[in-house]
Amino acid sequence: MVGKVPLFFAGALLILMVLIATLLSRQLLDPLSRFTSYAERVGQGDFSPILPTRKYRDEFSQLTLAFNHMIKELDRRHRILVESHKLRAIGTLVAGVAHELNNPLNNIMLTSSILQEDFRTLDDKAKLEMVQDLLNETERALRIVRNLLDFARESEARTQPIRIEQSVQESIRLVANQIKLAKVKIETEMPKDLPAVHGDDQMLKQVFVNLLLNAVEALNSAEPPPRHGVIRIRVRQDLRQGYVAVLIEDNGPGIPEHVLSRIFDPFFTTKQRKKGTGLGLSVSQGIVGKLGGMIEVESKVGAGTTFVVFLPTTDLPFVVHSQ
């Protein structure tokens, strides 16, 4: 009987230790696991705050408050970074827009001069045709400026169902003059009846403009340059279920394998000094991640590079904006 008492206490102690271990696991390891998932979510660009899981305050409440403060500050700094990189892109686009505006303004000047000099000798039909030419060229100039202003407009991220093909086409128009000056051919392949994409139109345009400008610069900086520089844009629905994929391909020099793993790192750039900040792809990845998507890249030296932007689809109807 005496020998059984220590055995009884040993069993009770073992059961107590198991209960304490289980309690510690629930009280410590489960919250730590949750915070690990929160950190991974923030790393993917999701800055939504942590919601409380209990009605009462515990040891992790202060950590949650600090974590939410960190998320809020990261979100604020990310917005500043996105806007600052957008300004850099605008600076690049302005040079092209100025060159593009030159054509309609020259046409307006020439037509106005002819109309002024020959006003008395022209018949009414000729005058009306020239006035119509003036109106067409003015509308063309206004459209160029309006596209740039829409792109430059600062706005909060507003996710909604959008037409991805429309965003891609408008992005192409924004960089059309850079593409023309670089003597690069652009090809598009966008099927009809694509599903609505869950995203923010302005932010997506920034991503596409950045990827297109990168492709143009890659083709321009190639040594030796390709005989026929081509940028091919394809929109596909069959690459990954629940997503629409936008593929932007170029036949430039490609990216070496040892560089490929670092291209999304902030401040990493292979461009010459003063020609790049190394933030473009990092910002683009953050934007797409915040919208619930992802960016992948494939490249082969001497054969070109392909960026693939995956964006989640939605069953909600498109939103039509009045102009």
**Structural domain for 284, as ranges:** 157-323
291 in any annotated domain: yes
- Higher-pLDDT residue of 48, 193: 193
Q: Give the count of domains, the chain.
A: 1
Q: Is residue 44 part of a domain?
A: no
Q: Is residue 267 part of a domain?
A: yes
Residue 235 pLDDT exceeds 80: yes
DSSP structural state of residue 313: B
Report the candidate in 183, 157, 188 with the shortest Cα–Cα distance to residue 172: 188
pLDDT exceeds 70 at position 231: yes
Assess if residue 214 is contained within a domain.
yes
In this prediction, residues 259-274 reach a mean pLDDT of 67
**pLDDT value at position 321?**
47
State the CATH number of the domain containing residue 265: 3.30.565.10
* pTM of the full structure: 0.60
Cα dist. 192→166, 189, 266 in Å? 11, 10, 36
User: Is residue 312 a part of any domain in this protein?
Assistant: yes
pLDDT confidence band for 289 (50 / 70 / 90) = confident
Compute the distance between CA of residue 75 and CA of residue 62 in angstroms, rounded to an integer: 20
Residue 53 or 273, more confident: 53
Pair of tokens at residue 90:
């605008």
- Peptide bond connecting 224 to the previous residue in cis, omega within 30 degrees of 0: yes
- CA quadruple 33, 70, 80, 146: dihedral, nearest 10: 60
- Residue at 67 is within a domain: no
Alpha carbon 201 to chain centroid distance?
Answer: 10
Q: H/E element holding 211? A: helix 201-221
Return left, alpha or beta for 274; rule: phi > 0 is left, psi -120 to 50 is alpha, else beta. Answer: left
Of 79-88, 158-167, 246-255, minimum mean pLDDT range: 79-88
Does residue 174 lie in a domain region? yes
Q: What is the pLDDT of residue 322?
A: 41
Environment class of 54 (CB within 10 Å of its CB; exposed 0-12, middle 13-18, buried 19+):
exposed
Mind listing the pLDDT tens digit for each residue in 154-173? 555 677 888 899 899 988 88
Q: Is residue 320 part of a domain?
A: yes
Which pLDDT value is given to residue 323?
Answer: 42
